[in-house]
Amino acid sequence: MHQRTGVLLLVSGPSGSGKTTLCRRLARDGEAHYSISCTTREARNGEVNARDYYFISREEFATEAEAGHFLEHAEVHENLYGTLKSEVLEFLQRGDDVVIDIDVQGADQVRACEDSLIKASLVDLFVMPASEKELRDRLANRATDAEEVITLRLRNALEEMSHAGRYKYQLISGSKDDDYARCKSLLVAERLRVSRFR
C-alpha cells in the first residue's frame, strides 16, 4: 500500500479576506490540521492560548527565532508571528495535511525553506477580496478595531494584494460556502498528485 505525504497549504490574503475562516473550517471539518502560530500580540476576546495562537512574550519569541525553531516568522501590524517548524513536519511526515493562515512575508520564507519535505508538500493560495469596497466593509464589520486600525489594515491589504501573482492559486472571495468548496476542491486535487505517494 502506498502512503501519501501531507499537503502543506499556505493560505494568504489581506486582513478581512476570509482566509482565517477558510483555514479554521478546513480544520474543523477534519480536512487538514490548522497550524497554530506563535504571536506576541494580545489575545482578542474569545481567543484561547494553544487553540487560536500560542501567545508568548517578545523575549520568548526571540529565543525561538534564534534557535531556528520557526518555519517562518514576521512582524505584522507591530506584532510578531511565527510558525513552529517541528509541528508542521510532524504532521506532513505522518501523511496529514496542514493548512497555514500566513501573510505574504511568511509565505516567501516558507517557499525559500530548504527542507525537502516542505518543498514537496507546498501549495499556496491567495484569497482576494472581490473589491476594495468589499474589503473595507468586511474590516469595518468586524467591530474589533478602531477606525485608524482599519485604515492601516486597508493600506496594508492593498500592498499585500500586489503580491498575489507569486501564488500558484488565487481565489476571488464570494460567499463563505463557495470559498470553502473551492478551497476544499483544491486540497482534494493536490492530495491526488502522483508525486505525493511513496
> Domain holding 80: CATH number?
3.40.50.300
Q: ∠ CA 70-74-76 to the nearest 5 degrees?
A: 145
- Cα separation of 148 and 15, whole Å? 14
Number of domains within the chain = 1
What is the predicted pLDDT for the residue at 90? Answer: 94
What is the predicted pLDDT for the residue at 142? Answer: 65
User: DSSP label at 18?
Assistant: S
Pair 118, 92: CB distance under 8 Å: yes
Pair 184, 27: CB distance under 8 Å: no
User: Would 23 be classed as within a structural domain?
Assistant: yes
- pTM passes above 0.95: no
pLDDT in tens, the chain (198 residues): 568 899 999 999 988 788 989 999 999 999 999 999 999 999 999 999 999 899 999 999 999 999 999 999 988 779 999 999 999 999 999 999 999 999 898 999 999 999 999 999 999 999 998 888 887 777 777 656 677 877 887 888 888 899 999 999 999 999 999 999 999 999 999 999 998 887
Residue that is written with C-alpha cell 518543498 in the block: 119
Q: Please give the grid coordinates belonging to residue 127.
A: 484569497
User: Would 104 be classed as within a structural domain?
Assistant: yes
User: Would 162 be classed as within a structural domain?
Assistant: yes
Dihedral angle sign, alpha carbons of residues 57, 58, 60, 64? positive
User: Would 1 be classed as within a structural domain?
Assistant: no
Q: Please give the grid coordinates belonging to residue 183.
A: 478551497
- Cα separation of 33 and 19, whole Å? 15
Q: Residue 14 burial by CB count (10 A; 0-12/13-18/19+): exposed, middle or buried?
A: buried
Amino acid of residue 117: L
Pair 73, 83: CB distance under 8 Å: yes
What is the predicted pLDDT for the residue at 1? Answer: 57
User: Would 53 be classed as within a structural domain?
Assistant: yes
User: Would 3 be classed as within a structural domain?
Assistant: no
Q: Domain span at residue 70?
A: 8-192
Give the largest CA-CA distance in the chain: 56
User: Would 2 be classed as within a structural domain?
Assistant: no
